C-alpha cells in the first residue's frame, strides 16, 4: 500500500491522476496538496475526496516547512509532483510565477523529501516529477522525435523553468541518492483542462459563438495524448521505473493546430446537430443556426518564440515499462467534447468568476496556515 502526496492534484492532469489512482489503487492513501491558483479547481476532485483515505490541503510547494510537516505527519512514501505554472502564453507575459513555482517550488519539495526520507532510516520512497517534452525545444519537419537523450534546448520561460526543475530532480538523485523518476510528456487533452488551452478553449468558444484564435499559420505541430494514457504512463513509471531514470511519454499522434481546430469544430457541430436541447442551451453556437463552426476560425498574431514541432519517441517506456497509449485521437476528442457538453457548470463557473468567489469564501484567499 502506498501513501501518496500529489502536488497540483486540483489541476488538469493532477485531478485526472487522483481519479485514476483512487480507482486503480483503492487501498492507498492520497494527500492532495494544491495552492488552488487560477488553474486549480477543487470541484474536479470532489468525488475522490469523499473517500476517507483522501485528504486535501491547500498549500504552496514553495512552503518547505509545511510540506516537510505533512510528509512526516502522514508517513508519505511517494510524491508525485504535478504542481506548476503550465501555460506558455502566461510565461511570456509574466515569467516570475514560473520561476518561483516551477524552480523554487520543486527545489523546496526536494529539500523536504531529502530531509524526511534520507534521515538515516533508509525509508523506501519515490519522488516522481512530471515534466514536459517542451524542454527539448523545437523539431524541424524531418527530425526524429525527442528521445530521453535529446539535449535540452528550452525556448520559453515555461519550458526553461521546467528544464531547470528536471535538472534539480536529477541532481538530487546523483548527489544525495534520493529515489527519483521523471516523465517528459507531450500535449495532453481530456476532461478538467482549464479553458485557456487550445482544445477546451475551442470547444467553449464554439458553444458561445466566439472566435477560435489560431496562432500564426496554424501549422505548428504537437503530439497529442489523452490524459488517461498519461496517468497510466506515470503509474507505470512510479511502480516499475528505475530510480534516477527519465521516461518520455507520448501519443505517437502528431497534428497541426489547424487540423485539430477543424476536428473539434466537426465534433461539436455533430453533437449540436443531433440534439435539440443543445441547440436550446447554446443558441450562439454556429450549428444551432444551421451554420458551421469553422466559420469562427480567426488567424491571429503568432506566439513569440512559438515552437514549431514537438514529437515524442516513447520506445524506452514501451520497452522497459510496457507503456503504450490506448485511446485513439478520434475517440479521445469525442470523449473530451462530450465531457465539456455534459459539465457546463464546471467551466461556466470558471468563466463567470463564481468558482473563484466560492474558493475565497471557503478556503480563504491566502491558503491555510498550519
Ligand atoms: P494545470 O495548470 O492545469 O494545473 C496546475 C496545478 O498546480 C493547479 O491545480 C494549481 O493550483 C497547482 N499549483 C500551481 N502552483 C502551485 C504551487 N506553488 N503550489 C501548489 N500547487 C500549485 O497544469 P496541468 O496541465 O495539469 O500540468 C500538470 C503538470 O504536467 C505540470 O507540471 C506541467 O508542466 C506538466 N505537463 C503538462 C502537459 C499538458 O499538456 N497540460 C503536458 C506535459 C507535462
Ligand atoms: O488560442 C490558442 N491558439 C493557438 O493556436 C492557443 C491557446 C494555442 N494555440 C496553439 C499554440 C500551440 O502550438 O496551439 C498549440 C497548443 O497550445 P496550448 O494548448 O497552449 O499548449 P502548448 O503551448 O503546446 O503547451 C501544452 O503542452 C505541453 C501545455 O500547456 C504545457 O503545460 C505542456 O508542457
Digit-coded pLDDT (tens) for 279-317: 999 999 999 999 999 999 999 999 999 999 999 999 999
Catalytic residue among 60, 134, 179, 267: 134
Q: Which residues pair with 215 in a beta bridge?
A: 300
Amino acid 362: pLDDT: 75
> Ligand 2 pocket test: which of 83, 97, 187, 214 has the largest number of ligand atoms within 8 Å of its C-beta?
187
Name which of 285, 348, 266 is nearest 277 in CA terms. 285
> Ligand 1 pocket test: which of 48, 60, 83, 166 has the largest number of ligand atoms within 8 Å of its C-beta?
83
- Identify the residue whose C-alpha is closest to ligand 1 atom 37: 132
100: Cβ contacts below 8 Å, ≥ 6 apart = 62
Please tell me if the CB atom of residue 88 comes closer than 6 angstroms to any atom of ligand 2. Answer: yes
Task: Answer yes or no: are the C-beta atoms of 267 and 363 closer than 8 Å.
Answer: no
- Ramachandran class of 180: left when φ > 0, alpha when ψ lies in -120 to 50, beta otherwise: beta
Note if 158 is an active site residue. Answer: yes
CA distance 160 to 143: 21
| Ligand 2 atom at minimum distance from 131 CA | 34
212: Cβ contacts below 8 Å, ≥ 6 apart = 201, 202, 205, 206, 261, 265, 293, 296, 297, 298
Name residues of the chain where pLDDT drops below 70. 364-370
Segment 103-131, tens digit of pLDDT:
999 999 999 999 999 987 778 999 999 99
> Ligand 1 pocket test: which of 9, 11, 165 has the largest number of ligand atoms within 8 Å of its C-beta?
11
- Identify the residue whose C-alpha is closest to ligand 1 atom 5: 11
CA distance 230 to 321: 13
Task: Answer yes or no: are the C-beta atoms of 83 and 103 closer than 8 Å.
Answer: no
Q: What spacing in Å lies between the alpha carbon of 126 and ligand 2's midpoint? A: 30
Catalytic residue among 68, 77, 133, 235: 133
Query: Pairing state of beta strands 254-256 and 221-226?
Result: antiparallel
Which ligand does the CA of 8 lie closest to?
1
Three-class SS of residue 70?
Answer: helix
Please tell me if the CB atom of residue 72 comes closer than 6 angstroms to any atom of ligand 2. Answer: no
Task: Answer yes or no: are the C-beta atoms of 281 and 251 closer than 8 Å.
Answer: no
Q: What lines the ligand 1 site, CB under 6 Å?
A: 7-8, 10-14, 34-37, 39-40, 60-62, 82-86, 101, 105, 130, 132, 162, 185, 187-188, 194
- Ramachandran class of 289: left when φ > 0, alpha when ψ lies in -120 to 50, beta otherwise: alpha
Three-class SS of residue 32?
Answer: strand
pTM, to two decimals: 0.97
CA distance 252 to 356: 37
Q: What spacing in Å lies between the alpha carbon of 198 and ligand 2's midpoint? A: 6
Q: What domains can be seen in the chain, in order of their start residue? A: 3-194+225-252+311-326+353-363 (3.40.50.720)
Amino acid 368: pLDDT: 41
Amino acid 353: pLDDT: 86
Neighbours of 319 (CB within 10 A): 9
Amino acid at each position: 500500500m502506498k501513501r501518496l502526496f500529489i502536488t497540483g492534484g486540483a489541476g488538469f492532469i493532477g485531478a485526472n491522476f487522483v481519479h485514476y489512482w483512487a480507482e486503480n489503487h483503492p487501498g492507498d492513501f492520497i494527500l492532495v496538496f494544491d495552492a488552488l491558483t487560477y488553474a486549480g479547481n477543487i470541484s474536479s476532485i470532489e468525488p475522490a475526496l469523499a473517500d476517507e483515505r483522501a485528504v486535501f490541503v491547500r498549500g504552496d510547494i514553495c512552503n518547505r516547512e509545511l510540506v516537510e510537516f505533512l510528509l512526516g505527519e502522514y508517513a508519505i512514501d511517494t510524491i508525485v509532483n504535478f504542481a506548476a505554472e503550465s501555460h506558455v502564453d502566461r510565461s511570456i507575459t509574466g515569467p516570475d510565477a514560473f520561476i518561483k513555482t516551477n524552480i523554487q517550488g520543486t527545489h523546496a519539495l526536494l529539500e523536504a523529501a531529502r530531509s524526511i526520507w534520507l534521515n538515516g532510516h533508509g525509508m523506501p520512497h519515490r519522488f516522481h516529477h512530471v515534466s514536459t517534452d517542451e524542454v527539448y525545444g523545437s523539431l524541424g519537419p524531418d527530425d526524429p522525435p525527442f528521445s530521453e537523450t535529446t539535449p535540452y534546448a528550452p525556448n520559453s520561460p515555461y519550458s526553461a523553468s521546467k528544464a531547470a526543475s528536471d535538472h534539480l530532480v536529477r541532481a538530487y538523485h546523483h548527489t544525495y541518492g534520493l529515489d527519483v523518476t521523471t516523465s517528459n510528456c507531450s500535449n495532453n487533452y481530456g476532461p478538467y483542462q482549464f479553458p485557456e488551452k487550445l482544445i477546451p478553449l475551442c470547444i467553449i468558444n464554439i458553444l458561445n459563438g466566439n472566435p477560435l484564435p489560431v496562432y500564426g499559420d496554424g501549422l505548428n505541430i504537437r503530439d497529442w495524448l489523452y490524459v488517461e494514457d498519461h496517468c497510466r504512463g506515470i503509474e507505470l513509471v512510479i511502480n516499475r521505473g528505475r530510480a534516477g531514470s527519465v521516461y518520455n511519454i507520448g501519443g505517437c499522434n502528431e497534428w497541426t493546430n489547424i487540423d485539430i481546430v477543424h476536428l473539434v469544430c466537426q465534433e461539436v457541430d455533430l453533437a449540436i446537430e443531433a440534439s435539440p436541447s443543445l441547440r436550446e442551451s447554446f443558441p450562439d453556437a454556429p450549428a444551432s443556426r444551421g451554420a458551421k463552426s469553422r466559420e469562427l476560425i480567426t488567424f491571429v498574431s503568432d506566439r513569440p518564440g512559438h515552437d514549431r514541432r514537438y514529437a515524442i519517441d516513447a520506445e524506452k517506456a514501451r520497452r522497459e515499462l510496457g507503456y503504450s497509449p490506448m485511446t485513439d485521437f478520434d475517440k479521445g476528442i469525442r470523449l473530451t467534447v462530450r465531457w465539456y457538453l455534459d459539465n457546463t457548470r464546471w467551466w461556466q463557473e470558471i468563466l463567470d468568476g463564481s468558482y473563484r468567489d466560492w474558493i475565497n469564501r471557503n478556503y480563504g484567499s491566502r491558503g491555510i496556515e498550519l
